Structure 1
Amino acid sequence: MSITTEAAVVETAGAEFVIQPVQLGALQPHEVLVDIKAAGLCHTDLSVAGGGLPFPLPGVLGHEGAGVVSAIGSGVTRVKPGDTVILSFTSCGSCRNCRDGHPAYCDTWLPANLIGGARMDGTSPISRDGKALGGHFFGQSSFARQAVVDERSAVKVETTLPLEHLAPLACGVQTGAGAVWNAIQPRPGSSLAVFGVGAVGLSAIMAAALSPAVTIIAVDRVASRLELARELGATHTIHAAAVQDVPAEIQRITGGGADAAIEATGHTTVLEQAVFSTAARGQVVAVGAPAFGATAAVDVNFIMPGRRVQGITLGDSEIETLIPAIVALMEAGRFPVEKLISTYKLEDVNKAAEDMKAGTAIKPVMVL
C-alpha cells in the first residue's frame, strides 16, 4: 500500500526544488516510516541538485532529517512508533569497516547513500505517477513530509530540544565534530586551523574548544562567520580575503605551523593552503566535497617530514554513539548548534538554498 506525501523534487541538474505530491511504497522489513519534522540543507544536497555529484534525477534529496517514527517494518528492532529520531547515513552493518566501528567507510556507502538513488535491490521507495524517482538519498530522502528510512539511518534520541536544532547533527555537525574528536584527537597544547567556517567548520571549532587544543584558528572570507567562530571558541581568525598569504599567517601565529588543519570548503586550492599551513608531522583532514575528479597539487618534498593528508567521510562517526553524545552536550549548553541555524518552511527551500549560497545562512533547516 502506498502513501501520498509532499516532497521537494529536483527534476534535472540545475533546476530548482519543486514541491509536489509523491508516493511512498510499502516498507521493506528493515525500513521505518518517519514523519519528518525538520530537515537540514547541506552543500551536498546543492552539489547533487546542481549536477556536481551524480544522482538519478528527477529525485528527492535531503539527508539531515529529524522526526517521529510512525510505522516500522517487520524486522526493525532499533526503534518503534512514537520514537523521536535523527536520520543520518546508512550502512550495511556487516562489512569489515562496519564491524570495526567505521560505518562511514562501508563497502556499500556510495551506492547506498550518495549516487545510487535506490535501495540496494534496485528499487526506489519514492515514485510519482507510477514512475520511480531518485530516492533513498542517504537512506532517507528527507526533503518530504514523510520518508521511508533505512533502520540503520535512524538514531533514537530522548530530548526536549527542538528538532530543528537536532537535524544538522545528521551530517554537517557530526562531520566537523568527528574530524576533531575521531581523526585529529588534539593533544594538550596543540594548534588547529579550520579552513571554511560554515556549519562543518564551526562544528569543528566547537569540538576543538572542548579538547586540550590551545590555539584554534578560523579561516574564512566572510567576516560575520569569523565573528561567530570567535564566539564559539576560535582563539584567532584570519580574513582570507584580506590576507595575501594565509599559510604564512598561520605559521606566524603558531610559531612554525599548525599541528593540524581541517579543510571544510571543498576547494582544492584551499586544501593546498591547508597542507602548507602545517608543521612537521602535521595532519590535514579533508572534509569538503569537491566534484568527482578534482585534484590538488602538493609538493611531495614538503610532506616528507611526517605530514599527513587524510580524507574523512561524515566525521568517521559511529552514529549511534556520536549523535547522542552531541545531543547531551547541547542539553548541557556546551555545544550551541542553535547559533548556526536559520529556519524556513519546506516550500521556501529554494530561498534557503539561495541564502546558503550567498553566505547569509550558515545552516538552513526546513521546519515541517
Structure 2
Amino acid sequence: MKDIFVLKTIIRKFSTIDECFKQEQIGKEDLIITNEFIYNSKLKDVEAHIIFQERYGIGEPTDEMIENIRKDVPSNTKRIVAIGGGTIIDISKFLILDYEGTIDQVIMQEIPYKKTKELYVVPTTCGTGSEVTNVAISELKKRKTKKGLADDLIYPDKALLIPEMVDTLPYKFFATSSIDALIHSIESYLSPNSTLYSRMFSVKAMTMILDGFKKVVNDSKENWSQYAENFLIASNLAGIAFGNAGCAAVHALSYPLGGAYHIPHGEANQLMFESVFNKYYEKDPNGRIQDFLRVLSEILDVEKEDSLKALFELTNQILKRKPLSSYGIKKEELPEFVNSVIEGQQRLLNNNYVELSSNDMLEIYNNVYDK
C-alpha cells in the first residue's frame, strides 16, 4: 500500500508577525533562526534567543555553515522558529536533528539521527515551499555539489504564513523565488509519483503564479508586492504538490550550477527549465505532457501547441535567462556536471517525465551554454 497524499504540517495564516508570536506563544525558550535585516525591519525586541544565519556564511546552505550554527544552539532549545527563505528553512530542518558525526554523514545516510526539537517556519520569500516539505538541501563542500535529505522527520510542525513578511522582498529575490515555485508546481505535475490529489495543488499553484506573472509584467515590476499574498499562498501550494510528487530534472541539473558556481537556486532552475522541457517534449510529445500543455494553454489563453513557447516567454520577462557561459562556466565542465547529476541526484531523476540519458543531459546543458 502506498500513501497517495500526505500533509503533515499544520498551516496557519496571520495578518502580522506580532499576532503570530502572541498566538503561538513564541518566547524565551524558543530559538529564532533568521537574518539580521529581517530582525531589524520586522521583529525587534522579541524574547526568544536569536541566531543570525549570515554571521556563519553568505549564500545558500553549506555543511560548514550548518555545523557552525549547530554549535551555538542553546542546549535547552525545544522549538526552533525559522524566519526566512530557503536557506534559513533548510538549515533549521537540519538543526532539529540530533546525531553523532557530521551533517555530511547525515545527508549521505551514513549515520543514524533523530528529531529532538519542534520546527515552526515563517517563510519570507514566495518560492521555496520548504515550509511544508520533508526535504532540505545543502552544499557539500568537499563533494562540490548540492544534495538533499528527504525524511519525514524534518517536516516542519507548523507553517506560519504572514503576507507582510514577504511584501518588502526586492524584485530580484521575488523573481528567482517565484520561478522556483512555478517549477515546483510543473515538475510535480508531470512526476510519475503525482496523484489526482497532488495535481490539484500543482494546477492551482501554477495558475496563481502565472496569472500573477501576467499582472507583474503588465504593471511596473517594482509593484509586484501588491500580489504578495497570492504568491505566498501559491508557493505553499506548490510545496505541498512537490512534497508529495517530487521535483525532477530541472532541479537535478541545476544543482551543479549552484554547487560549483554559487548561482542562486531559483536562477539556476530558470537556466535549465526551457531546455529540459523541450527535451521532454522531443522524447515523448504524446504522453502526459499533453495534459500539462492543455492546462497551460487555458492559463495563458493560447493554443496548446503554442503554450510552451508562451510559458518561456513569460518567465523570461520575469527573470531573463542568461547563457551558462556568462557565469564563467567552461564547456569542458559540462560532462562533469552530468556525471555529478547521475551520481548524486537519482532521488530527483526518478521523478522525470521521461528517462534522460547522459547524452540527453549533456545536450540540455549544451543547448543553453551560449544562447
TM-score w.r.t. length of structure 1: 0.27
Q: Which has the higher helix share?
A: 2
Q: Which has the higher strand share?
A: 1
TM-score w.r.t. length of structure 2: 0.27
